[in-house]
Amino acid sequence: MDNEYSGAEKRQFRRARVSLTVVYRANEPLSVRMLTADKEIQATMVDLSEGGMAILTNYSVPESTVLAMRFTLFKVNKEEVSFYGPVSITGEVRYSTMIDKDFYRVGICFTEIDERDRREIADFVKMASNMPKTEK
C-alpha cells in the first residue's frame, strides 16, 4: 500500500477567498457553550465553499465543536448589488489554529444546510472565483 502524498487536491468543492462577517454560537459541547457565555460571536469569514468555511475569531474553538452560523451573501451584476440571506448553517469544527495571540483560524465543515442556501453559496463562489483580482 502506497502512503506517499500525491499532491492531488483533496477538497470536494471549490473555495473562494472572502472577507465577510459571520455570527456564530457554540451549540455543543456544553463546556464550549459555557466558555462563550452562550452568546453570539462575530467573526470574519476568510474562505467559503459549498462544504465549509474558515473564520478568524478571538476564541479558541476546539475540534468537533458544533456551531450555528449566520451570514449574508452579495452578488454584483454590472452596476447592481443584490443580497441573499441570512444564510443559517450548522457546522462542525475540523481544526482550530492559533495564528496570533488570542486570534484563531477555525475550519468548519457544514453538517446542516438548506439546499437553496447551498446553491446560493455555489453561485457566490463561482462568481467570486471569476472576479478579476485587484492589486493592492
Give 46: exposed, middle or buried? Use CB within 10 Å, 0-12, 13-18, 19+: middle
CA–CA gap between residue 108 and residue 76 (Å, rounded): 26
The secondary element (H helix, E strand) that includes residue 123 is helix 115-130
- pTM for this model (two decimals): 0.80
Average predicted confidence (pLDDT) for the chain: 83
Domains located in the chain, CATH noted:
16-129 (2.40.10.220)
SS (H, E, C) 66-114: EEEEEEEEEEEECCEEEEEEEEEEEEEEEEEEEEECCEEEEEEEEEECC
pLDDT at 133 over 70: no
pLDDT digits (tens, 9 = 90+) for 68-91: 999 999 877 777 888 888 999 999
Percent over 90 (pLDDT), the chain: 53
Both ends of the chain: CA-CA distance in Å? 47
- Cell numbers at 94, concatenated: 475540523
Looking up cell 478568524 gives 56
